[in-house]
Amino acid sequence: MTFLFTLLSFAVALLLSILGTMVYSQVKHVAPNLTFAYRHIAFPFAITVGAIVLVLSLGMEIRNYRQRKALEGIERVS
């Protein structure tokens, strides 16, 4: 799941950064620098989103484990 969200965020960020770079180059009348879109916008954004999704997924798994453990304890007592 973490990998899929990271890949999806990279794709969306890359699309938006390429579009932004194209608009900027048209407004300023310069050649578009698409490597900037890859290196400085899309890749750091995807790494950040991937780290956030990893932490959130880990938190959800820990919460589910603790809840399952508590319910099993209640079931044993009953």
- Rounded Cα distance, 54 and 6, in Å: 9
Q: How many domains does the chain have?
A: 1
Tell me, yes or no, if the pTM score tops 0.85.
Answer: no
- Residue range 14-63, pLDDT digits in tens: 999 999 999 999 999 999 988 988 899 989 998 999 999 999 999 999 99
Residue 3: band (very low, low, confident or very high) from pLDDT cuts 50, 70, 90: confident
- Rounded Cα distance, 9 and 15, in Å: 10
The arithmetic mean of pLDDT across residues 68-73, rounded, is 94
pLDDT attached to residue 20: 93
Return the beta strands (E) in the chain as ranges: none
* pLDDT at position 78 over 80: no
Expressed as residue numbers, the domain containing 29 is: 2-77
pLDDT attached to residue 1: 78
